[in-house]
Amino acid sequence: MGKRRKPSPPSRARLAVITTAVAGGAVLASGTAHAEPAPTLASVKEQVDRLNEEAEQAIERFNGFQEKQQKLQGEANRIQEKVARGQEAMNELRTQLGVVGAEQYRNNGIDPGIQLMLDSDPATYLGRASVQDQVAGSWTNLLRRAQDEQRKLDQERAEAAATLADLDAVGASLNAQKNQVQGKLAESEALLNKLSAEERAKINAQEAAEKAKAAAQQAAAAERAKAADKEAADKAAADKAKAAAKENAGKGGATAPPAPATNAPTPAANTPAPPVTNTPPPPAANTPAPPAAGGRAAAIVQFAYAQLGKPYGWSKTGPSSFDCSGLTGAAYRAADVSLPRTSQEQWKVGTRIGRGDLQPGDLVFFYPDLHHVGVYIGDGKMIHAPRTGKNIEVLAIGVMPYMGAVRP
């Protein structure tokens, strides 16, 4: 076998080419690993919307824990007052037991038979014996009462301990939800702070355009429904007139009156005006008009109108700021109606209302978990507290995922 030939070492020129290629590849790989594409406005808006929705969900959970904490605190205070009263009763019974015990000891120090033999007046002794029996009976009754009071006191102390433990657990959950809300809001704010003023303005303009589009679509749908209702009413009137004419012709009566015209003439000046309803007029673009006074629904809607422009405040129930369920709860309190604190609990109160039967003052709910609620004001619109950084506003109910309505 011949000897293997050693490969010849690469030339300097070849080494330079290889080194340059490897270095370039390393730089390219490094650049590929660390480069992050700049977020688009659409992606930032999507993330901010998601974070705000998650924050609102956490806010409603926070409100629920806060309400539970308040109830448990009231219950704990009530039980502790019972424990204090029970302890006072026990102290009083112990004092009475001490007095009766001392008296029994003094009277029963000598055997009753010996005392009778030594007593010069048996009648006096028998009288004292009767008193001793009464003292013994009192002692027995006091002991029974003391045992009953001690059992009650022990039960109340155990109940108080359990309630206070529940209170501590709810307090921990409350703090956890508070931290979650603050974290979501801080994350959302950090995303927005990365944008320039021009980019923020674009996002705000996009939100406004989306709201306007949804409102226009809803208004168009309402007009189509109104036209369909009018067409059905006109057809019903025409059918009724035809039926009346046919009946008159069969009876040989006078000629039937013509069917009413589709476009009725304007009423004369002395014709009475139709009655005024409490349904609010559709709000204008900038300054919506409140409804006419009168009735529970009007009180609810008027209160909601009076809050327009106030800031959203998470877990706030007024008077200077509100979250969504805080606003609806305050509006109903203005009409002397008490609602639960959270939107999910408010959903459980009252009668469910179909979308076609909505009336001003009804509560309208959004998202599958019902974490958002507003006050319906008519014309397909509501007043609601939107989210942190926004003010209370009028909005078409078609802008968010509509889930249903309730009339408490």
- 372 an active-site residue? yes
- Whether 371 is catalytic is no
Long-range contacts of 102-105 (CB under 8 A, 24+ apart): 103/135, 104/132, 104/135, 104/136, 104/139
The distance in angstroms from the start CA to the end CA of the chain is 103
Does an H or E element contain 381, and which?
strand 381-384
Rounded to the nearest angstrom, the gap between the alpha carbon of residue 299 and the centroid of all alpha carbons in its chain is 21
Catalytic residue among 45, 184, 372, 387: 372
What's the rounded Cα separation, in Å, for the pair 283 and 321?
A: 22
Longest dimension (CA), the chain: 150
DSSP string, 238-277: HHHHHHHHHHHHHHT-SPPPPPPPSSPPPPPTTSPPPPPP
Q: Which two tokens stand for residue 295?
A: 């009735």
Is residue 233 part of the annotated active site? The answer reads no
Q: Write the DSSP assignment of 130-167 as a string of letters.
A: HHHHHHHHHHHHHHHHHHHHHHHHHHHHHHHHHHHHHH
Q: Of 343, 384, 400, 405, which one is the catalytic site residue? A: 384
Q: Please state, in angstroms and rounded to a whole number, the distance separating the CA atoms of residues 361 and 219.
A: 20
Catalytic-role residue among 55, 298, 324, 327: 324
Which residues, listed in sequence order, are joined to residue 376 by a DSSP beta bridge? 382
Please give the positions annotated as active site: 324, 372, 384
